């Protein structure tokens, strides 16, 4: 892909010869393919979500919990044929879906494989787990390849998005992307406790950013009501590399509870909250190339 403009960074890298801002070239690179039990209950179910963690990231937030992937590009290159096989291996292990974690910058490389796998009877939902820093033209490419969007709305404030991700356009881009996701897959469908299609938007509550989290939650509920699920997350873990002072502390339980109470006061019923202990590091998977 010469002069890549796939994501809003539009860094122009010639991915046949070099890596872009996102850390990716023209090969699929992943760091883990295994069942994961700790997503929202309708995504993990009892058997686990078939998560495939991709290396690199076009947003690259300072506080990223998967820093070794998003900033250090840990992982190994796989062929499209191996990607296809991995999806069927996860299905054979009982995974209730295929969950593509931060695959935004690989869309043109993975979509033909996804379509092929679905035609060949993959038969479980495909989840696109994304930062939502996506251009509409990239989202368009996912037509008929994805059933569920598990999307972040990280910030509503351009200043916060600039401060932590050098992406002041994030709120505008992410809101437009989420609107498109909802148009594409429609209202949630859940069968046997497992989501078959729909959109879940995650709002991670971060220390020092409670007002912004509340603004995101209000925007989502005012705009979409029960047409989406809103997942209020309290699993923030301060990582060693963060530079901003407020990010160096854990999120206090009372701060998280205040945001949850706010969400409840709006009348949200299609929602998820996390129990105490969700910020334990044991929930961050090891990126040891298991299943790759
Ligand atoms: S997807 Fe990667 S290479 Fe392409 S424009 Fe974005 S950052 Fe650059």
Rounded distance, CA 118 to CA 102, Å?
20
| Closest approach atom of ligand 1 to CA 20 | 3
| Closest approach atom of ligand 1 to CA 19 | 3
Structural domain boundaries in the chain: 28-282
The response to whether residue 106 sits with its C-beta less than 6 Å from ligand 1 reads no
The response to whether residue 21 sits with its C-beta less than 6 Å from ligand 1 reads yes
Residues across the chain: 292
pLDDT of residue 281: 62
The response to whether residue 167 sits with its C-beta less than 6 Å from ligand 1 reads no
Rounded distance, CA 218 to CA 224, Å?
10
Contact 214, 155 (CB under 8 A): no
Cβ partners under 8 Å of residue 192, min gap 6: none
Rounded distance, CA 237 to CA 251, Å?
8
Q: Digits of tens for pLDDT over the chain (292 positions)? A: 679 999 999 999 999 999 999 999 999 999 999 999 989 999 999 999 999 999 999 998 999 988 888 888 889 999 999 999 999 999 999 999 999 999 999 999 999 999 999 999 999 999 999 999 999 999 999 999 999 999 999 999 999 999 999 999 999 999 999 999 999 999 999 999 999 999 999 999 999 999 999 999 999 999 999 999 999 999 898 888 888 999 998 999 999 999 999 999 999 999 999 876 656 665 567 778 788 9
Find, among 10, 77, 87, the residue nearest to 52 by Cα. Answer: 87
Rounded distance, CA 279 to CA 33, Å?
22
Contact 256, 277 (CB under 8 A): no
Contact 25, 19 (CB under 8 A): yes
If one residue of 1, 2, 3, 5 were mutated to test the ligand 1 pocket, choosing by the most ligand atoms within 8 A of its CB, it would be 5
Rounded distance, CA 116 to CA 180, Å?
24
Rounded distance, CA 89 to CA 33, Å?
9
The response to whether residue 24 sits with its C-beta less than 6 Å from ligand 1 reads yes
The response to whether residue 31 sits with its C-beta less than 6 Å from ligand 1 reads no
- The Å distance, Cα 11 to ligand 1 centre, comes to 6
What does pTM read for this prediction? 0.95
Write out the DSSP string of 125-140: -EEEEE-S---HHHHH
pLDDT of residue 89: 98
| Closest approach atom of ligand 1 to CA 58 | 7
Strand 28-36 to 49-54 pairing: antiparallel
The response to whether residue 287 sits with its C-beta less than 6 Å from ligand 1 reads no
CA 14 → CA 4, 24, 109, 140, 151, distances in Å?
6, 10, 15, 22, 28
φ, ψ dihedrals at 251, nearest 5°: -75, 130
- The Å distance, Cα 228 to ligand 1 centre, comes to 29
- Tell me the fold of 28-282: TIM Barrel (3.20.20)
């Amino acid at each position: 892909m010469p002069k890549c403009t796939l994501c809003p960074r539009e860094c122009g890298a010639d991915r046949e010869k070099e890596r872009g801002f996102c850390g990716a070239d023209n090969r699929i690179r992943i760091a883990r393919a295994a069942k994961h039990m700790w997503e929202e209950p309708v995504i993990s179910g009892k058997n686990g979500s078939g998560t495939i963690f991709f290396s690199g990231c076009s947003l690259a937030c300072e506080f990223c919990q998967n820093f070794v992937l998003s900033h250090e590009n840990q992982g190994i290159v796989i062929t499209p044929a191996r990607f296809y096989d991995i999806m069927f291996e996860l299905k054979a292990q009982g995974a209730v879906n295929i969950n593509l974690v931060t695959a935004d910058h690989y869309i043109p490389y993975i979509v033909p494989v996804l379509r092929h796998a679905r035609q060949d009877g993959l038969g479980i939902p495909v989840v696109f787990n994304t930062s939502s820093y996506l251009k509409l033209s990239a989202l368009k490419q996912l037509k008929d390849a994805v059933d569920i969007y598990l999307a972040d709305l990280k910030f509503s404030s351009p200043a916060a998005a600039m401060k932590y991700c050098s992406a002041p356009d994030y709120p505008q881009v992410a809101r437009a992307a989420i609107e498109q996701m909802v148009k594409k897959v429609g209202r949630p469908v859940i069968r046997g406790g497992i989501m078959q299609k729909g959109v879940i938007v995650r709002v991670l509550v971060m220390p020092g950013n409670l007002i912004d989290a509340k603004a995101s939650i209000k925007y989502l509920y005012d705009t979409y009501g029960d047409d989406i699920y809103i997942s209020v997350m309290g699993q923030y873990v301060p990582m060693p590399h963060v530079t901003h002072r407020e990010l160096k502390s854990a999120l206090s339980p009372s701060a998280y509870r205040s945001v949850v109470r706010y969400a409840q006061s709006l009348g949200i019923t299609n929602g998820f909250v996390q129990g105490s202990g969700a910020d334990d590091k044991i929930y961050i998977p090891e990126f040891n190339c298991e299943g790759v």
